[in-house]
Structure 1
Amino acid sequence: MEDFLAGLYPWVKFLHVISVISWMAGLFYLPRLFVYHAERVGQGNPTDDLFQVMERRLLRAIMNPAMIASWVFGLALVLTPGIVDWTMLWPWLKAGSVLGMTAFHMWLAARRRDFAEGRNSVTGRRYRMMNEVPTLLMIVIVASVIVKF
């Protein structure tokens, strides 16, 4: 298994990076949709329906598969011999940040359900602030992997 993963390393890394880019695009865009949905769209009208369709499709068709693929290919990289030195700080920072990113994804999914059920209570301002979470986590992840401190 180890030789198999080592031989596929460049392809797994490629697929991991593509998956992460797709996931991050959704993590940046969905809270933006929520800002406009919360501030400018009422409930039970055609614009509300349109926003709900966009939010649902973004989450289910792009973000969920991209998150799963990011995890699968990321775990394959972790299992590849010689890639991760767990005695260093960087893999732990990255792992913690990826868990944080996953929790943020789940928070967004719950907020989408709130909109769908007509019970959103989060303000546009709060969604704007929460939109910074994936950026901060991304900085920690990229710095951890590139600098390897």
Structure 2
Amino acid sequence: MQFVFPTPRGAYDAAIECLKTRLADEFPGRSSVPRRRFVMTERLADKVLSEQKSTTIRYDRDSVEYPAGPVLPLFAAAERAPQDEYRCLAGLRVLSVRYSTFEGLTEADARSDGFSSLDELLATLQQFYGRILPEDMVCIYEFALEPTATNPKPLARNIALDAASV
């Protein structure tokens, strides 16, 4: 299932309500939860900023997720860094969200996610999330860097995060 978000900014709230209804119909045994931010390793966040990465794949064994808003902040995390050291780098405008089984991921998904091969993507997801079964659902967010009025490349800043939606 794929859901493309409307271009007019005022239509976003209605689009989210429509998506939540579709999620309840498509995945009746799972709860729908909002994603409020994206946290990535510094290496992957750098690929976003250099526009070598235009999607991110997220997994939750017990739920399906949807974006909480049209633009979500991107945080970079150093290896094993505490959450209060995550750096907010940019805003990412969510263009679409697609739901697929883990085994349904493709080479094209790997390339758009900044990986050189499907095997590399699958191994990285398993390393980050633990064991993912072939039939488990993943959420694929397509995004674009959100330009700012004064600075096209936002300055990094430290910010504390809560554990939800990381």
Bigger RCO (CA 8 Å, 6+ sep): 1
TM-score by length of 1: 0.28
Higher helix share: 1
TM-score by length of 2: 0.26
Higher strand share: 2
